[in-house]
Structure 1
């Protein structure tokens, strides 16, 4: 009786699900859903705050465009399923990524400026809520993340010894910054101002919209950058 060189492994049997047609279809649907959720949330916030009615109204508008749209799309365009905002070449994706992330930083800085100006005019204290404290932490993490990305653009000039390791740190810190922004946005929905404007089942809908892209982004980065161990027999 011939002896098989490869022993049966239930883990290997489970991994065959990746070749099943349902798996890539679900992944593609999840990425499409993440794009739709990010865009829908940004549009809904734009309609809700009615920009121009007050100085503060520009703050949630700028921040939603910065983190919910630009930052999310800047990460999702690297997904294996593709993005409507990217080229096929990797250099094209990197170029669009930097355009979106630069726009995100400009919008975040503008949103912060409107918030500070609104507080100063109303003579209200700063950093009095969890949302504001988390917002400062998120802005700091995003700025450091952008600095890390600049190092990847000029590795020879800055004499970076290990570019792959820096790329791993860049992706990991980027995930952390995006999750912090999602937590900050979620905290904003618990403020008195937001709960007074949105009530009932609609409030839960708003709560779920930014969470779904965060799950897709987290899955994308962990699958792309976490080290994978080869199966041995």
Structure 2
């Protein structure tokens, strides 16, 4: 017996309509990913004690940057100003190079979003479903780059002086959970749907 399977954000499209436990575990994972992301943003903002120095605004703005591109640009501005004031060289760490790469990819992602919204106005030959696939794929790359950038920040002198011991290990693992949930959602939503046989 063959049946068409449609995507569902909670896993029902994977042929598991009868497995209520699976559905609720998926829902719990999505909620936990959102709580984890928000909690990480708030905690980093509190740890940086904004206003105590020029640098202190950098972690605040960059942790909020998942929400807005403008905050990322502002965070970059605070970092550049802090380095210039301290007369320290720029782009000397993996974190800084990954951060610049993430910001560039975020700008590209925003441009892809404009293409998805206005394909006819821009006279594009690529069909909208394919543009959405490219936009989603680029978004996944941006999210994973941002996750790696955040994790690399935890090896910085500032973060290691602020957070120590078991808490440091918890912070190191914290960004990975939302990344896995986001990756799962995007791949389930945009990979080609297949028919299941039973």
TM-score (norm 1): 0.77
2-side partners of 1:192 and 1:112: how far apart?
18
Tell me the residue number matched to 1:191.
Answer: 156
Tell me the residue number matched to 2:98.
Answer: 134
Structure number with greater Rg is 1
Tell me the residue number matched to 1:79.
Answer: none
Written as runs of structure 1 = structure 2, the 5 A alignment for 1:53-132 is 53-67=52-66, 70=67, 104-132=68-96
Instruction: Give the number of aligned pairs.
Output: 186
Taking CA–CA contacts closer than 8 Å with sequence separation of 6 or more, which of the two structures ends up with the larger relative contact order? 2
After superposing on structure 2, the runs of 4+ consecutive aligned residues of structure 1 that deviate more than 3 Å are 15-18
1-side partners of 2:166 and 2:141: how far apart?
29
Describe the SS at the equivalent of 1:19: coil
1-side partners of 2:197 and 2:15: how far apart?
16
Report the alpha carbon displacement of residue 16 of structure 1 after superposing the two structures with TM. 4.7
Report the alpha carbon displacement of residue 35 of structure 1 after superposing the two structures with TM. 1.1
Residue among 147, 168, 176 paired with 1:182: 147
Tell me the residue number matched to 1:43.
Answer: 42
Describe the SS at the equivalent of 2:65: helix
Report the alpha carbon displacement of residue 139 of structure 1 after superposing the two structures with TM. 0.5
2-side partners of 1:213 and 1:28: how far apart?
13
1-side partners of 2:174 and 2:90: how far apart?
28
The one-character-per-residue Cα deviations of 1:42-63 (angstroms, maximum 9, x if unpaired) are: 1111110000000000001000
Describe the SS at the equivalent of 1:125: coil
Tell me the residue number matched to 2:183.
Answer: 218
Tell me the residue number matched to 2:7.
Answer: none
Structure 2 residue runs of 5 or longer lacking an equivalent are 3-13
The one-character-per-residue Cα deviations of 1:151-201 (angstroms, maximum 9, x if unpaired) are: 111111111231100000000010000000000000000112211111111
Describe the SS at the equivalent of 2:196: coil
Structure 1 residue runs of 5 or longer lacking an equivalent are 1-5, 8-14, 71-103
